[in-house]
Chain A
């Protein structure tokens, strides 16, 4: 039970809607009670506000300290009397203040120190741990007897054993063909030859029409072929290059010889041509 929280909410709402005023609060929360129960930091705040304010009244005190702090630090009976007076006055009934000592004693007997403590997060204790019952024995599954494969059996052996049990006929009554290898071995490249590897239909690329003015070219040009791309060259001294590149028979290298023979005498006998 969070009685302080209830008083804080109720009294704050009563002040907000105008049912009560700060004077009603200060009528019960006297300076003597504040001096007795208010913590020193709140007193420092209150004195600072009072010294800087042009007017010191009940509203300044209540707004400076705050209803929440009043409900937190003042005796609960005092705050209850304050709230009760406001409520009974709005109902047109006579307010009979409750003695602070008797209410404090009643609250202390009723709930004890739990009032000043926040409510625990979980009020229910954790469930008791029960010993686990053994799991019920599982019944064997009803169905065709399938031999459990041993570690040494291969998949082909298991399939062959199953077909032998079925008498070579499928459940549909048709004879089955001999079991073949159903799993592709690795690195066979069979995927490239699969039927589903056919190319999908593709869009036809537009073909440019051949140029009408340009003649068709062959892959290899002849020596007498003259086109627009031929460059004009001076052919008047066509035999000069043949004379410049003339090689004597002594300068020829016999490449059919071994490496040793070539390396042994090649460097000395034939001057390297750079």
Chain B
């Protein structure tokens, strides 16, 4: 579902990381994944939402992050699009 929303531009990587905050990522992502994110950022010189989602794919997000967080991201995007306010 997150991958579909990103693919169809219902929400973007920035919207995802607005809910998957650094605290949430640091709490739920496994250490090796955190190391990969930092290594990729150090290699490229910046840590952008796009680069984070290149390392932490939607599949990994769905695997490690609480589903409430991901659903909040989807619901907020739907509300912005005028689909509904169901959360």
Contacts and interface: CB of A to CB of B under 8 A. Distances in A.
Interface of A: 26, 30-32, 34-36, 40-41, 43-48, 50-51, 53-58, 61
Nearest to B32: A35
Interface in B6-48: 17, 22-23, 25-27, 31-39, 41-42, 44-48
A47 B37 contact: yes
A84 B31 CA distance: 27
A50 B41 contact: yes
A236 to B, nearest CB: 117
B26 A40 contact: yes
A36 B23 CA distance: 17
A51 B47 contact: yes
Given A47-B47, A50-B41, A35 B35 contact: yes
30 contacts: A30-B35, A31-B34, A31-B38, A32-B32, A34-B34, A35-B33, A35-B34, A35-B35, A35-B38, A40-B27, A43-B22, A44-B23, A44-B26, A45-B22, A46-B22, A46-B26, A47-B25, A47-B37, A47-B47, A50-B38, A50-B47, A51-B17, A51-B47, A53-B46, A53-B47, A54-B46, A56-B45, A56-B47, A58-B42, A61-B38
The interface centre, meaning the residue of A31, A45, A54, A57 with most chain B CB atoms within 10 A of its CB, is A31
B27 to A, nearest CB: 6
B22 A44 contact: yes
A55 B26 contact: no
Contacts of A53: 46-47
A109 B26 CA distance: 34
B12 to A, nearest CB: 15
Contact of A56 (B17, B25, B32, B41): B41
Interface residues of B, number: 24
Contacts of B33: 35
A254 B36 CA distance: 131
Nearest to B24: A44
Given A41-B26, A48-B22, A26 B31 contact: no
Contacts of B52: 51
The interface centre, meaning the residue of B17, B37, B47 with most chain A CB atoms within 10 A of its CB, is B47
Given A57-B42, A58-B42, 5 more contacts: A35-B32, A43-B25, A47-B26, A56-B41, A56-B44
Given A47-B26, A51-B17, A56-B41, A34 B35 contact: yes
Nearest to A36: B31
A75 to B, nearest CB: 14
Contacts of B22: 43-48, 51
